[in-house]
């Protein structure tokens, strides 16, 4: 039996490796990840503090886009392991594993009799959502935010089991909410709705008195935290600017965006795709629909899953990965719903022999996909070709003067965080426009005719045949 169970665990591990780990093998990072990791590295270097986040002197000199805790957690990895790109590759993977552990722990609380097979199915569904691997690959702040919100949900559910320790679990619940808020702001407060949802569905087991008592303790602990932050000047100043610059401007649309229903659309795609594939598998296996389990716990996780994303419809500034905090709850809900049916399908088609066969195919797929990804330079290919593969050397904390003769180059140099993020992350370098006194001079193949280079002062240090970027340095500059 242990050997058979091991095949199931191996199946889950292979799915995680195939959907997530292989994705980080490719070169390149999400622009937001480049910014976060650069700020975290700068913090680990001791140059800037928790309430003073810094990207470059000319772009996000003082960073107020998000609260600081998520980036601080990233900085701890740099502090421990040093400045290595492996942190960029593995930060999301590491927290993805922690989130999966939380899913297992929560599933065991709500369905202890079916915990082993059900929890593995929940993990499978979580990894099957297209947005899971995308988010984990790109080190987005939704990842640590989801870790903390899941922890808060776990502690509330734990308080239902150990009622005599309600105060302790209310404190832990609040602490995790505050931690989530310190990562991603007000969007992480949705677990506050969980006790109310539970009361609606389980009013006999969880009377109004218990609901009010739990909320009372949460309110007390939250009020103490707010008072302390209000009276701590760096925190007060940071959140004052953050709320004005990020929250209010996102709600009124001044930060851009015109897709009020993008999240609903993405939620529908991710949830319905997994749901209907599961139904099709049932039909192929000729499994009766009466095996489906529609329980109150199923509705509880469905409600909390939607509450994690739908409130964001208030703002037109939406990205599809904003649904990531919802996915663990949808995975648990789907597992509760389909658990018995999936077990019957697996048993009908050979049981553990089927799993062993799938594991063999997954290993072959993992080897093939890993090989392809290791040679994938599609993301930021011009930067990688003209800088990384060309083994370009820059002096530490270099400032590069740029010259652009068209709107595209001007945007890429001075407004787009993709290129500036790569320069800061790999070289600790930053860009400045048309300053002839800088040690480095950068233009592009499109702007070269207009941006004439003084060959008496500068020498070219890029590849023999550049894709896009043309980098020069003063002949007097020593990069060693």
Structural contact between residues 155 and 173, judged by C-beta atoms closer than 8 angstroms: yes
Question: Strand 440-444 relative to strand 430-433: parallel, antiparallel, unpaired?
Answer: unpaired
The reported pLDDT for the residue numbered 258 is 58
pLDDT in tens, 334-364: 999 888 888 888 877 777 788 888 899 999 9
The reported pLDDT for the residue numbered 51 is 94
In this prediction, the residues of the chain whose per-residue pLDDT falls under 70 are 1-4, 114-115, 253-260, 434-436, 479-480
The reported pLDDT for the residue numbered 2 is 47
Q: Is the four-CA dihedral 167, 172, 176, 181 of positive or negative sign?
A: positive
Name the residue among 254, 240, 217 with its Cα closest to residue 62. Answer: 240
Helices (H), 162-261: 166-184, 194-201, 208-230, 233-242, 249-252
CA–CA separation, 6 and 120 (whole Å):
12
The reported pLDDT for the residue numbered 86 is 93
Residue ranges per structural domain of the chain: 2-371, 381-474
CA dihedral 27, 28, 34, 36 (to 10 degrees): -60
What is the edge-to-edge ordering of all strands in the sheet holding 458-460? Answer: 430-433, 399-402, 440-444, 469-474, 458-460
Quote the DSSP letter at residue 429.
Answer: -
CA–CA separation, 262 and 265 (whole Å):
5
Neighbouring CB atoms inside 10 A of 269's CB total 15
The reported pLDDT for the residue numbered 4 is 60
- 107: Cβ contacts below 8 Å, ≥ 6 apart: 115, 118, 119, 122, 332, 335
The reported pLDDT for the residue numbered 350 is 74
**Ramachandran bin of 204, using left for φ above 0, alpha for ψ from -120 to 50, beta for the remaining angles:** alpha
Structural contact between residues 152 and 176, judged by C-beta atoms closer than 8 angstroms: yes
């Amino acid at each position: 039996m242990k050997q058979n169970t091991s095949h199931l665990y191996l199946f889950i591990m292979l799915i995680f490796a195939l959907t997530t780990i292989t994705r980080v093998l490719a070169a390149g990072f999400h622009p937001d990840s480049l910014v976060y990791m650069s700020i975290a590295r700068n913090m680990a270097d001791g140059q800037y503090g928790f309430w003073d986040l810094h990207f470059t002197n000319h772009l996000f000199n003082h960073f107020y886009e998000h609260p600081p805790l998520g980036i601080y957690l990233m900085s701890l990895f740099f502090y421990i392991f040093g400045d290595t790109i492996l942190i960029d590759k593995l930060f999301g993977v590491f927290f993805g594993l922690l989130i999966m552990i939380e899913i297992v722990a929560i599933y065991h609380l709500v369905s202890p009799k079916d915990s082993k097979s059900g929890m593995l199915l929940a993990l499978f569904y979580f990894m099957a959502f297209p947005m899971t691997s995308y988010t984990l690959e790109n080190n987005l702040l939704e990842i640590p935010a989801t870790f903390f919100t899941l922890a808060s949900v776990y502690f509330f559910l734990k308080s239902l089991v150990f009622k005599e320790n309600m105060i302790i679990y209310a404190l832990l619940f609040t602490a995790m909410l505050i931690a989530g808020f310190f990562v991603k702001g007000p969007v992480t407060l949705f677990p506050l709705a969980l006790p109310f949802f539970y009361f609606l569905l389980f009013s006999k087991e969880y009377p109004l008195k218990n609901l009010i008592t739990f909320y009372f303790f949460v309110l007390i602990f939250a009020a103490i935290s707010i008072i302390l932050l209000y009276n701590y000047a760096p925190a007060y100043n940071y959140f004052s600017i953050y709320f004005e610059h990020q929250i209010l401007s996102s709600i009124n649309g001044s930060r851009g965006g015109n897709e009020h229903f993008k999240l609903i659309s993405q939620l529908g795609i991710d949830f319905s795709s997994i749901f209907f594939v599961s139904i099709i598998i049932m039909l192929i296996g000729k499994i009766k629909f009466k095996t489906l389990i529609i329980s109150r716990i199923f509705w509880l996780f469905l409600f909390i899953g939607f509450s994690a994303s739908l409130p964001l419809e208030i703002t037109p500034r939406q990205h599809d990965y904003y649904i990531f905090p919802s996915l663990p709850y949808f995975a648990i809900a789907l597992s509760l719903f389909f658990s018995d049916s999936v077990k019957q399908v697996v048993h009908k088609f050979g049981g553990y022999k089927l799993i062993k066969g799938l594991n063999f195919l997954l290993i072959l797929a993992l080897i093939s996909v890993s090989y392809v990804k290791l040679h994938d330079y599609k993301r930021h290919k011009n930067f990688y070709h003209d800088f990384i593969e060309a083994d370009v050397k820059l002096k530490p904390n270099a400032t590069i003067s740029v010259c652009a003769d068209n709107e595209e180059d001007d945007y890429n140099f001075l407004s787009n965080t993709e290129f500036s993020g790569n320069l800061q992350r790999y070289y600790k370098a930053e860009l400045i426009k048309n300053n002839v006194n800088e040690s480095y001079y950068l233009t592009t193949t499109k702007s070269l005719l207009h941006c004439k280079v003084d060959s008496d002062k500068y020498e070219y240090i890029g590849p023999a045949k550049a894709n896009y970027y043309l980098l020069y340095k003063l002949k007097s500059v020593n990069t060693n």
